[in-house]
Amino acid sequence: MTDLTLAPGRAPERRARLRRYLMTPPAHFAVTYAINPWMDPAVPVDRDRALAEWRGLRDTYRRLGHRVDELAPVAGLPDLVYAANGALVTPGATVGARFAFPQRAAEAAVYADWLERAGLGPVLLPAEINEGEGDFLVVGSSGLAGAVPTSVILAGTGFRTTPAAHAEVARLTGLEVITLELIDPRFYHLDTALAVLGDDSIAYLPGAFAPASRAELARRYPDAVIATEADAAVLGLNLVSDGRNVIMAAAATDLAHDLELRGYVPVPVAMPELLKGGGGIKCCTLELRRNGER
């Protein structure tokens, strides 16, 4: 860890880095099937409200200076809005997705095509089940101009992405991949139970992980922010941080307070309609990384 050791009442000065994100508007968003505990086809969805929430998130990123690219929505793919699942873009390699459920299978080709056309290819197609940044979170400084590559990938398994995919992603990206087992079905992707805050700092809910994975996280990140059950239950950990500003669920108030004490600036965004599909802020956001690019 390189976080500062603080005198009482003081927090480190955090610095934001400009990022590049890919998002897809929820023009065809619906909940017509249930593939996670959050989804209930009997609960009506207000698509106009979902679009308004999505635009609010996109505009927040742009207001903070980040670049947001947009992928055109596709009829018949209601979950395409959850862009994080579409790929993993590391500084040196782009790995496509292969979804666990047939309802989302066609999304992989849509994202791969966009990434190729955007110059972020070649997109390496996985043989194993791999749900992109939903289960693969990059932690570290690799890809920053002048930085020593120190990235690792924290990788989730238990509900979607398979353990075999972890070895595959390590081979394709050349980065160390740390396997973490998820055990609570509410937190079916890693990005619902763990958030990357900075180059060496995370927040997570210990109860979402198997004992060995909890021990590994505690060993690697002894100064991590520990989320409450209540904040995790509103997908408070499904957040996006630029190293200073933390765009996060407005309802995750305890987590926001803890982040402020660490010197972060919480930026609350409410997305209750998109939560009906089992996704939040991070789910709607795929980070596009390339060497020296921010």
User: What domains, with CATH codes, occur in the chain?
Assistant: 20-287 (3.75.10.10)
The total of other beta-carbon atoms located within 10 Å of residue 101's CB is: 13
- Catalytic choice (28, 66, 166, 283): 283
One-character DSSP codes across 102-165: GGGTTHHHHHHHHHHHTT--PEEPPSS-B-GGGTEEEESSTTSTT-----EEEEEESSSS-HHH
Beta bridge partners of 178: 154
DSSP designation for 59: H
- Measured from the Cβ of residue 85, the count of other Cβ atoms closer than 10 Å reads 27
Q: What element of type H or E holds 219? A: helix 211-220
Flag whether pLDDT at 4 surpasses 80: no
Vertex 114, ends 112 and 119: CA angle to 5°?
A: 95
- Active site (annotated) includes residue 189: yes
- Check pLDDT > 80 for residue 294: no
pLDDT surpasses 70 at 148? no
The number of beta carbons lying within 10 Å of the beta carbon of residue 82 is: 30
Q: What is the pTM of this model?
A: 0.93
Please confirm whether the linkage preceding 41 is cis (ω < 30° from 0). Answer: no
Q: Which of 66, 166, 189, 284 is catalytic?
A: 189
pLDDT of 5:
37
**Using an 8 Å Cβ cutoff, are 141 and 199 in contact?**
yes
pLDDT band of 107, cuts 50, 70, 90: very high
